[in-house]
Amino acid sequence: MSSKEGPSIIYKLEGKEISIDNAPANLVGNVLLNMQNLVSSLGSYHEKKGYIDKRKAKISESIYTLSVSFSRGSLALSFESPYEQQIIDETDQSLQGKTFESIYNILSELTTDERDNTNAFNIKLSNIVDDPRTIRRVFNYVNELIPTSKEYNAAVNVKGLKIANTKPISLNNPILKRRIDAELSREILESESERVGVIVRVKCDVPNPSYVIKQTDGNLARIYMEDDMKSKIIDYMINKTPVKIRGFGTKKQLFEFYEVDKIDEIKNIEISSVKGMNIPNPILADVSYDYEGDEDFWMLSNKELGINSVGKTLEKAKHMFEEELMSDYEVYKDIPDDKLTEEAKILKNHLLAIF
């Protein structure tokens, strides 16, 4: 441990409307949230060397102090470290100092000459932080800290670090904004994908909790489990709820997704073709999943049509649904109404409306 005055990082927002008596609550709240997330994500990264352990993140937050000050036309948000610092390496650099230095260096790279190609830019970033998940989070937090109105100007600066000639980095810099937009768009194109299926197993291992989804084709995928998603994930597993998970991959091969963007329940799917033939009026089929003993299966149903199909995979259940739909249509289409019961006439009309 070391006892000396610690480093700090300051986010300053300037605008005519800002004062202690008149501060836009949404704006101030957004700044507080995203600066805290920015500091916490990089602090956690440096603690775990690329792996984020949420329980450790809470420890990280306890070694920062936060102060907010107002003056006419400006808001200053400062993260500081106490005099008693936690040293993390042989260079006698504190965890806080390493975190603030990383933020400053990333922002510096984001404002450098745009003539650097993407590969050169990414190499420079990886020399600062080599975890793609952390970098993507940083980009998102910085993006939220960029003023959306020309009425405001924002800048970030550091103090107490071993960086020569530090000066405020403007977040209004158009180069920074273009780079952030380009990197976030590229990340989405390259790494965002989705998995559809049912959660069949949860593992609460530390430091890498995860869950396994059995996809509609029968293949398994392992996904990193965020702490705040644990109860929902377990609930989905217990209720055998079909879900669609959208997330981002990682260069680390431990998980299919290392960060989940969204989870949606799947209640039904659209049947828009039968045997390769498009139907004018697509219909919805309810989706469910179940198992008996070692056998598991997908089910599709439509109450109005009286169709219930089962398959080892969702695709097979869908094929069986289409087969039954076409078979019913072929049977009922040419039967005169006076030969049908009232219920059968209703079914015939439904079938004729679809085709």
Query: Is the confidence at residue 355, as pLDDT, over 90?
Result: no
Domain boundaries, the chain: 2-172, 192-265, 268-354
Nearest CA-CA partner of 129 in 107, 161, 160? 107
Residue with the larger pLDDT of the pair 242 and 3: 242
**Chain segment 32-43, per-residue pLDDT in tens:** 888 988 988 888
Q: What is the mean pLDDT of residues 185-200?
A: 77
**What does pLDDT average to over the chain?**
81
Residues ≥6 apart with Cβ < 8 Å to 126:
none
CA distance 27 to 13: 10
**How far is residue 38's CA from residue 152's CA, in Å, rounded to a whole number?**
20
Query: What pLDDT, on a 0 to 100 scale, did the predictor assign at position 284?
Result: 92
**Amino acid 84: pLDDT:** 46
pLDDT digits (tens, 9 = 90+) for 200-234: 999 887 667 889 999 999 889 888 888 878 889 99
> Once rounded to an integer, what is the mean pLDDT over residues 192-197?
84
Q: Is CATH 3.30.70 what the domain over 192-265 is classified as, yes or no?
A: no
Q: Say yes or no to pLDDT of 65 above 50.
A: yes
Rounded distance between C-alpha atoms, residue 242 and residue 195, angstroms: 11
> What pLDDT sits at residue 251?
44
Residue 316 or residue 246, greater confidence: 316
Least confident of 6-15, 82-91, 185-194, 276-285: 82-91
- Listed ranges 2-6, 154-158, 277-281, 346-350; the one with the highest mean pLDDT: 154-158
Separation in Å, CA 194 to CA 249, 258, 260: 10, 12, 9
Q: What is the pLDDT of residue 321?
A: 94
pLDDT for the residue numbered 121: 82
pLDDT at 173: 92
Which tokens sit at 270? 């659209």
pLDDT at residue 190 greater than cutoff 70: no
Supply the Cα-derived Rg of the chain in whole angstroms: 28
Residue 170 predicted with pLDDT over 50: yes
In Å, what is the CA distance from 73 to each residue of 19, 25, 36, 77, 318? 6, 15, 22, 14, 62
Higher local confidence (pLDDT), 239 or 43: 239
* Least confident window among 67-76, 102-111, 326-335: 67-76
User: How would you list the strands of the sheet with 242-248, edge to edge?
Assistant: 220-224, 210-215, 192-203, 242-248, 259-265
pLDDT band at 48 (very low <50, low <70, confident <90, very high): low
- Is residue 2 over pLDDT 50? no
Tokens representing 326 are 């076409």
| Predicted pLDDT at 312 | 93
pLDDT of residue 115: 61
Amino acid identity of residue 42, one-letter, is L
Q: State residue 163 phi and psi, 5-degree precision.
A: -120, 125
pTM of the model: 0.54
Of the pLDDT bands very low, low, confident and very high (cuts 50, 70, 90), residue 162 is confident
Does the pLDDT of residue 326 top 50, yes or no?
yes
Predicted local distance difference test score (pLDDT) of residue 105: 92
Q: What average pLDDT does this structure show over 59-79?
A: 73
